[in-house]
Amino acid sequence: MPEFDLSFTIVLLVNGVMIGLMYALIALGFVLIYKATDAINFAQGEFVMFAGFIAAGMASTVGLPFWVSALIAIVGMVALGFGLERVVLRPLIGRPVIAVVMATIGLASVLRGVAVVLFGASTLAITMPVGDMPIDLGFVTVPPVQLVGAIVSIVFLVGFTWFFLKSRTGIAMRAVADSQTVAMAMGINVRRYFALAWAMAGVVSAIGGIIWGAMLGVDNQLALVGLKVFPVVILGGLDSVLGAVVGGLVIGIVESLTAGYFDPIIGGGTKDFAPYVVMIIVLMIRPEGLFGRRLIERV
Amino acid sequence: MFHREAGVFKTNYAADMALYPLPIAKWTMAAIAGLFIVIAPLFFSEYAVSIINLILIAIVGALGLNILVGYTGQISIGHGAFMSVGAYTAAHLVVSLGWPFWITVPLGGFAAAAIGAVVGIPSLRIKGIYLAIATLAAQLIIEWTINHVPWISGGTQATIQLARPSFFGIQLAHERQIYPFLMAFVVIAIVATLNLVRSRIGRAFIAIRDQDIAAEIIGINIFKYKLYAFAISSFYAGVAGALESYYLGIANYEQFQIDVSIDYLAMVIIGGLGSVLGSVLGAIFVTLLPIVTRLFLESVGGAIFSYSDLLSIIPNLRLIIFGGLIIFFLVVEPDGLNRLWRNIRNYFRIWPFSY
Amino acid sequence: MAGLSRTVLTLVAGAAAGLALIGTARAQDKTIIIGDQCDRTGPTQIVGTTLCPAMQDYYNLVNSKGGVDGWKIKGDEIDNGYKVPEGIEAYERQKQEGVVMMTLYGTPQTVALNQRLETDHMPTTSPGFGISAAADGNRYPYLFPIAATYWSQGAAAVQFAKDKLGGSLKGKKIAYVYYDNPAGKEPLVILDQLQKSEGFELRTFAVPPPGVEMGAQVLDITQRFKPDFVIAHLFGRSPSVLIKSMKGAGYPLSHMVGLVWASAEDDIKAAGGFAFAEGYNTMQFAGAGDDYPVRQEIKAMYKKDGKEPPATMDNTVIYNRGLLQSSIQVEAIKNALKISGGQKPTGEQVKQGMEQIKGFTLGGLVPPLEITASDHEGGGWVRIFSVHGGKLVPATDWMHGYRDLVLNTVKGSE
Confirm or reject contact between B330 and chain A (CB < 8 A).
yes
Q: Give the pLDDT band of residue B5 (cuts 50, 70, 90).
A: low
* Chains in touch with C (≥3 Cβ pairs < 8 A): A, B
Q: Which residues of A touch C261 (CB under 8 A)?
A: none
pLDDT in tens, C66-111: 999 889 999 998 888 888 888 888 999 999 888 999 998 888 888 8
* Chains in touch with A (≥3 Cβ pairs < 8 A): B, C
Confirm or reject contact between A230 and chain B (CB < 8 A).
yes
- Across the interface, whether the CB atoms of C236 and A221 are under 8 A apart is answered yes
Cα three-residue angle C334-C340-C346, rounded to 5 degrees = 85
Confirm or reject contact between C313 and chain B (CB < 8 A).
no
C-beta of residue A194 within 8 angstroms of C-beta of residue A32: no
What burial letters (b/e) apply to C299-316, b meaning 16+ CB within 10 Å? bebbeeeeeebbebbebb
Q: Which residues of B touch C77 (CB under 8 A)?
A: 311
For residue C256, what pLDDT is reported? 95
pLDDT in tens, B189-221: 999 999 999 899 999 999 999 988 899 999 999
DSSP H or E run through C144: strand C143-144
Q: pTM for the whole thing?
A: 0.89
Task: Concatenate the DSSP letters of all residues of A29-90 into one string.
Answer: HHHHHHHHH----TTHHHHHHHHHHHHHHIIIII---HHHHHHHHHHHHHHHHHHHIIIIIG
Nearest to A27 by CA among A182, A280, A212: A212
The residue in chain A having the minimum alpha-carbon distance to the alpha carbon of residue C188 is A267
Instruction: Report the distance separating Cα C398 and Cα C393, nearest Å.
Output: 13
Min distance A255 CA to chain B CA atoms (Å): 15
Confirm or reject contact between A141 and chain C (CB < 8 A).
yes
- Of A72-81, B176-185, B340-349, C362-371, the one with minimum mean pLDDT is B340-349
The residue in chain A having the minimum alpha-carbon distance to the alpha carbon of residue C236 is A221
- Across the interface, whether the CB atoms of A101 and B75 are under 8 A apart is answered yes
- Across the interface, whether the CB atoms of B130 and A106 are under 8 A apart is answered no
Instruction: Report the distance separating Cα A249 and Cα A242, nearest Å.
Output: 11
- Gyration radius from chain C CA atoms: 22
For residue C26, what pLDDT is reported? 45
Q: Which residues of B touch A111 (CB under 8 A)?
A: 323
Q: Which of B75, B126, B317 sits opposite A97 (nearest CB)?
A: B75
Q: Give the pLDDT band of residue C27 (cuts 50, 70, 90).
A: very low
pLDDT in tens, B150-185: 888 877 777 888 888 877 777 777 888 888 889 899
C-beta of residue B311 within 8 angstroms of C-beta of residue C56: yes
* Helix A190-216 × helix A168-178 angle, to 10°: 100
Please, which residues 8-27 of chain C have a Cβ atom closer than 8 Å to chain B? 8, 14-15, 17-19, 21-23
C-beta of residue B79 within 8 angstroms of C-beta of residue B206: no
Rounded alpha-carbon distances, angstroms, from residue A87 to A96, A107, B321, B332: 18, 11, 16, 11
Amino acid (1-letter code) at residue C91: Y
For residue A203, what pLDDT is reported? 92
Helical H segments across chain A, by residue range: 6-37, 44-57, 66-84, 97-119, 144-166, 168-178, 180-185, 190-216, 229-236, 241-257, 263-266, 274-285
Min distance C388 CA to chain B CA atoms (Å): 32
Confirm or reject contact between B347 and chain C (CB < 8 A).
yes
pLDDT in tens, C389-398: 888 999 999 9
List CB contacts of A241: < 8 A, sequence separation 6 or more: A28, A31, A32, A35, A157, A160, A161, A164
Q: Which of A122, A225, A270 sits opposite C266 (nearest CB)?
A: A122
The residue in chain B having the minimum alpha-carbon distance to the alpha carbon of residue C58 is B308
What count of residues does chain C have?
A: 414
Asked, as a colleague might, if the bond just before A287 is cis with ω within 30 of 0, I would say no
C-beta of residue A276 within 8 angstroms of C-beta of residue B140: yes
Min distance C220 CA to chain A CA atoms (Å): 6
pLDDT in tens, B17-33: 677 766 777 777 778 77
- Across the interface, whether the CB atoms of A276 and B313 are under 8 A apart is answered no
Helical H segments across C281-402, by residue range: 293-304, 316-340, 347-354
The residue in chain A having the minimum alpha-carbon distance to the alpha carbon of residue B69 is A98
Q: What is the 3-state secondary structure (H, E, C) of chain B?
A: CCCCCCCCCCCCHHHHHCCCCCHHHHHHHHHHHHHHHHHHHHHCCHHHHHHHHHHHHHHHHHHHHHHHHHHCCCCCCCHHHHHHHHHHHHHHHHHHHCCCHHHHHHHHHHHHHHHHHHHHHHHHCCCHHHHHHHHHHHHHHHHHHHHHCHHHHCCCCCEEECCCCEECCEECCCHHHHHHHHHHHHHHHHHHHHHHHCCHHHHHHHHHHHCHHHHHHCCCCHHHHHHHHHHHHHHHHHHHHHHHHHHHCEEEHHHCCHHHHHHHHHHHHHHCCCCHHHHHHHHHHHHHHHHHHHHHHHHHHCCCCCHHHHHHHHHHHHHHHHHHHHHHHHHHCCCHHHHHHHHHHHHHHCCCCCC
C-beta of residue C203 within 8 angstroms of C-beta of residue C173: yes
DSSP H or E run through C109: helix C107-120
Instruction: Report the distance separating Cα B33 and Cα B36, nearest Å.
Output: 5
Amino acid (1-letter code) at residue C46: I
- Across the interface, whether the CB atoms of C83 and B299 are under 8 A apart is answered no
pLDDT in tens, A195-253: 888 889 999 999 999 988 888 788 888 888 888 888 999 899 888 888 999 999 999 99
Cα three-residue angle A199-A201-A206, rounded to 5 degrees = 95
Nearest to C219 by CA among B235, A257, B54, B92: A257
Q: Which of B129, B133, B324 sits opposite A110 (nearest CB)?
A: B324
- Across the interface, whether the CB atoms of B156 and C49 are under 8 A apart is answered no
Confirm or reject contact between B288 and chain C (CB < 8 A).
yes
Q: Which residues of C touch A2 (CB under 8 A)?
A: 224
Residue C7 has pLDDT above 70, yes or no: no
The β-bridge partners of A253 are none
Min distance C38 CA to chain A CA atoms (Å): 14
- Across the interface, whether the CB atoms of C180 and A113 are under 8 A apart is answered no
- The top-scoring range by mean pLDDT among A222-226, A292-296, C52-56, C210-214 is C52-56
For residue C414, what pLDDT is reported? 61
The residue in chain A having the minimum alpha-carbon distance to the alpha carbon of residue B122 is A284
Query: In the predicted model, what is the mean pLDDT of residues B123-135?
Result: 85
Q: Which residues of B touch C60 (CB under 8 A)?
A: 308
pLDDT in tens, B72-98: 999 899 999 999 999 999 999 998 888
Confirm or reject contact between B222 and chain A (CB < 8 A).
no
User: Between chain A and chain B, how many beta carbons pairs sit less than 8 Å apart?
Assistant: 127
The residue in chain C having the minimum alpha-carbon distance to the alpha carbon of residue B55 is C85
Q: Which residues of B touch A287 (CB under 8 A)?
A: 125-127, 130
The residue in chain C having the minimum alpha-carbon distance to the alpha carbon of residue A142 is C248
Min distance C361 CA to chain B CA atoms (Å): 26
For residue B4, what pLDDT is reported? 60
pLDDT in tens, B263-275: 999 999 889 888 9
Residue B354 has pLDDT above 70, yes or no: no
Please, which residues 318-337 of chain C have a Cβ atom closer than 8 Å to chain B? none
Q: Which residues of C touch B288 (CB under 8 A)?
A: 15, 18
For residue C332, what pLDDT is reported? 94
Q: Percent of chain A, pLDDT > 90? A: 20
Confirm or reject contact between B249 and chain C (CB < 8 A).
yes
For residue A40, what pLDDT is reported? 84
Min distance A183 CA to chain C CA atoms (Å): 35
For residue A3, what pLDDT is reported? 64
Q: Which residues of C touch A215 (CB under 8 A)?
A: 241, 244
Burial classification of residue A46, based on how many CB atoms lie within 10 Å of its CB (0-12 exposed, 13-18 middle, 19 or more buried): buried
pLDDT in tens, A103-138: 999 999 999 999 988 888 778 888 888 776 777 776
Rounded alpha-carbon distances, angstroms, from residue C22 to B101, B295, C19: 32, 8, 5
Rounded alpha-carbon distances, angstroms, from residue C146 to A195, C70, C379: 55, 26, 8
Please, which residues 303-322 of chain B have a Cβ atom closer than 8 Å to chain A? 313, 316-320, 322
For C382, which DSSP code?
A: B
3-state secondary structure of C326: helix
* Helix C45-64 × helix C293-304 angle, to 10°: 80
For residue C22, what pLDDT is reported? 47
For residue C25, what pLDDT is reported? 41
pLDDT in tens, C261-296: 999 888 888 888 888 899 999 999 999 999 999 999
- Across the interface, whether the CB atoms of A113 and B316 are under 8 A apart is answered yes
Q: Which residues of A touch B152 (CB under 8 A)?
A: none
C-beta of residue C359 within 8 angstroms of C-beta of residue C368: yes
Residue A2 has pLDDT above 60, yes or no: no
CA B141 from centre of chain: 22
The residue in chain C having the minimum alpha-carbon distance to the alpha carbon of residue B333 is C4
- Across the interface, whether the CB atoms of B159 and C83 are under 8 A apart is answered no
Residue C19 has pLDDT above 90, yes or no: no
Average pLDDT of chain B is 86
Instruction: Report the distance separating Cα C294 and Cα B122, nearest Å.
Output: 60
What order of strands is seen across the sheet that includes strand C201-207? C201-207, C173-179, C229-233, C256-258, C281-284, C383-388, C391-394
The residue in chain B having the minimum alpha-carbon distance to the alpha carbon of residue A296 is B213
Terminal C-alpha separation, chain C = 63
Residue C23 has pLDDT above 50, yes or no: no
Q: Give the pLDDT band of residue C1 (cuts 50, 70, 90).
A: very low
- Across the interface, whether the CB atoms of B327 and A267 are under 8 A apart is answered no
List CB contacts of C113: < 8 A, sequence separation 6 or more: B248, C87, C88, C91, C104, C124
Does the ipTM surpass 0.95?
no
Instruction: Report the distance separating Cα A283 and Cα A277, nearest Å.
Output: 10
Q: Percent of chain C, pLDDT > 70? A: 93
3-state secondary structure of A230: helix
Confirm or reject contact between B134 and chain A (CB < 8 A).
yes
